[in-house]
């Protein structure tokens, strides 16, 4: 018998519009004509399988500091159970993503290159389903601007772009350009930079030479430094009777900065280069390596942490920030302003029978280093320390001087009091002897 939604095609195929429990079972096909039939076909079994469906989806956006850990959940069910895979959209080759036993994406430590859109895909024999999330990595230099466009005008050009992610800080832009003369006086080109007003995403570059090829690039900067240069766009400003022409050149894959080759080395037409301009003179690449050789030792007053200063620091060191986490939890700041001259810190107030991890970060002005090595401290069996934490030193020098001064004063006072008592006793004894005589 034929059920609702079922039909048979002229070629003998059966069509089940909606799969349900009625479709389960064994099926045989019997061909026949006016002479009869040769018999039934082999049986085939119809099974119902469920496509993957997400039970836990990642949030639309995640914001996390660079260097920390970010865990993004993604759970799906189906029949058969689906396989979960993660992929960064637009990534080339295998990504550095790690997936834990719960199919969650684990980014540790979080790096700038992991900023962007990530896809979670659940796949089984029936189908594949995908959901996406955006990861925003904070505390980095800006990302490159995109969709750079140049509109040639009369002796000018209007450059526009779309900003990239600002790294969590206010970013500003500058437009760099250079003419590409067919026979340049020197072997290398000089790039000219123009600052862009705050908040603007376009700039008019004027006083250009007509019928001369120019290359344009846009640079983004924030307080942590410069991002990579944008793709290079080559264009010719219009003179009288010159048609509009714009030429795009792909961005250099490595993003390194070096001199441009002479235009005479290329064939007639637009000179082609994939090398971005030199970084601006005002941008100083700050080298601030992390603190070194962090160690932990148990003392009678608490855990004493010692370290060596950063090996490289192109600017004056401002200080350190001490971070800890307990029992594999999240990292927390324990002390934000350890002086840059210090190389040790005392940490009392730890909880007994707990597991701690410590790491140190150096900072110089607005620049922050990567974290130091991590040291582990277990308080199992250790004495319970006072709860009040005094981090800067074992004992601050002013307090130490006051304690020593007080001890000296009390000592002198005791000596003088003893001497005065002795003198008074002698005088009293002398008076008693005179009276008796």
Q: Which residue has the higher pLDDT, 263 or 416?
A: 416
Spatial separation of the C-alpha atoms in residues 356 and 285, rounded to whole Å: 35
- Report whether pLDDT(308) > 70: yes
Residue 188 confidence (pLDDT): 44
Cα–Cα distance between 86 and 99 in angstroms, integer?
8
**Percentage of residues in the chain having pLDDT higher than 90:** 26
Quick one: which of 269, 245, 93 has its CA closest to 180? 269
What is the band of 313 on the pLDDT scale with cuts at 50, 70, 90?
low
- Choice among 111-125, 167-181, 300-314 with the minimum mean pLDDT: 300-314
pLDDT of residue 265: 33
pLDDT at position 138 is 92
Q: What is the mean pLDDT of the chain?
A: 79
CB 290 within 8 A of CB 361: yes
Triad 287, 288, 293: Cα angle to 5° = 135
pLDDT in tens, 149-159: 999 999 899 99
Check residue 388 and give its pLDDT. 38
Rounded CA gap, 71 and 103, in Å?
Answer: 10
Contact 111, 66 (CB under 8 A): yes
**Which of the pair, 435 or 277, is modelled with greater confidence?**
435
Q: What's the distance, Cα to Cα, between the start and end of the chain in Å?
A: 148
Residue 147 has pLDDT above 80, yes or no: yes
**For 79-134, what is each residue's pLDDT tens digit?**
899 999 999 998 776 666 788 989 999 998 899 989 999 999 999 998 999 999 99
- Per the structure block, which two tokens stand in for 407? 């001890």
Other CB atoms within 10 Å distance of the CB of residue 220: 25
Q: What is the CB-side half-sphere exposure of residue 214 using CA atoms within 13 A?
A: 29
Average pLDDT over residues 167-171: 88
Q: What is the pLDDT of residue 96?
A: 62
In the chain, list all ranges with CATH 2.60.40.10: 50-138, 146-235, 292-379
Burial 18-43 (b: 16+ CB within 10 A, else e): eeeeebeeeeeeeeeeeeeeeeeeee
Architecture of the domain defined by 50-138: Sandwich (2.60)
- Identify the pLDDT of residue 243: 55
- Cis previous bond, 365, omega within 30: no
Q: What's the CA gap between 276 and 254, in Å, rounded?
A: 10
Residue 434 is predicted with a pLDDT of 77
Tokens representing 415?
Answer: 């000596």
If you average pLDDT over residues 20-35, what whole number do you get? 86
Confidence of residue 277 (pLDDT cuts 50, 70, 90): low
Dig out the tokens for 404 from the structure.
């020593």
The pLDDT score that the predictor gives to residue 289 is: 79
Coil, helix or strand for 96?
coil
137 and 111 Cβ atoms separated by less than 8 Å:
yes
CATH class entry, domain 146-235: mainly beta
In the predicted model, what is the mean pLDDT of residues 206-228? Answer: 89
Structure tokens at 436: 């008796």
Q: Which residues contact residue 62 at a Cβ distance below 8 angstroms, ignoring those fewer than 6 apart?
A: 70, 72, 133, 134, 135, 136
Measured in whole angstroms, how far is the alpha carbon of residue 372 from the centre of its chain?
16
* Domain covering 292-379 assigned CATH 2.60.40.10 in the classification: yes
**135-161 burial, b for 16+ CB within 10 Å, e for fewer?**
bebbbbbbbbbeebebebbeeebebeb
Residue scoring higher pLDDT (120 or 392): 120
Top-confidence residue, 123 or 400:
123
């Amino acid at each position: 018998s034929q059920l609702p939604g079922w039909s048979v095609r002229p070629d003998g195929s059966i069509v089940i519009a909606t799969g349900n429990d009625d479709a389960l079972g064994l099926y045989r096909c019997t061909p026949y004509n006016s002479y009869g039939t040769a018999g039934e076909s082999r049986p085939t079994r119809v099974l119902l399988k469920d496509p993957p469906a997400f039970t836990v989806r990642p949030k639309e956006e995640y914001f996390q500091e660079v260097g920390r850990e970010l865990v993004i959940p993604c759970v799906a069910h189906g029949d058969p159970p689906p396989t979960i895979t993660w992929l960064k959209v637009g990534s080339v080759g295998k990504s550095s993503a790690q997936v834990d036993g719960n199919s969650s994406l684990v980014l540790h430590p979080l790096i700038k290159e992991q900023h962007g859109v990530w896809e979670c895909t659940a796949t089984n024999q029936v189908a594949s389903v995908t959901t996406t999330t955006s990861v925003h990595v904070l505390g980095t230099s800006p990302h490159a601007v995109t969709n750079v466009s140049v509109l040639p005008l009369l002796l000018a050009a209007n450059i526009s772009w779309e900003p990239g992610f600002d790294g969590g800080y206010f970013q500003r832009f500058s437009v760099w350009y250079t003419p590409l003369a067919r026979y340049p006086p020197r072997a290398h080109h000089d790039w000219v930079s123009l600052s862009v007003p705050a908040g603007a995403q376009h700039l008019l570059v004027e006083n250009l030479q007509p019928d001369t090829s120019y290359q344009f690039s846009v640079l983004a900067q924030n307080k942590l430094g410069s991002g990579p240069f944008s793709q290079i766009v080559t264009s010719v400003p219009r003179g009288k009777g010159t048609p509009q022409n714009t030429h795009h050149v792909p961005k250099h894959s490595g993003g390194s900065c070096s001199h441009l080759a002479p235009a005479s080395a290329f064939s007639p037409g637009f000179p082609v280069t994939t090398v971005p301009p030199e970084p601006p003179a005002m941008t100083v690449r700050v080298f601030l390596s992390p603190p070194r050789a962090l160690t932990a030792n148990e003392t009678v007053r608490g855990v004493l942490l010692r370290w060596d200063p950063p090996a490289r620091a192109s600017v004056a060191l401002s200080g350190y920030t001490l971070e800890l986490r307990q029992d594999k939890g999240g990292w927390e700041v324990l002390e934000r302003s350890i002086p840059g001259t210090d190389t040790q810190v005392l940490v009392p107030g730890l909880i007994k029978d707990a597991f701690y991890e410590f790491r140190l970060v150096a900072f110089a002005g607005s620049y922050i280093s990567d974290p130091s090595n991590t040291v582990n401290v277990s308080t199992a069996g250790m004495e319970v320390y006072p709860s009040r934490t005094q981090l800067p030193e074992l004992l601050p020098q002013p307090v130490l001087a006051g304690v020593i001064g007080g001890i000296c004063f009390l000592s002198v006072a005791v000596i003088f009091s003893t001497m005065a008592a002795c003198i008074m006793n002698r005088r009293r004894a002398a008076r008693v002897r005179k009276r008796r005589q």
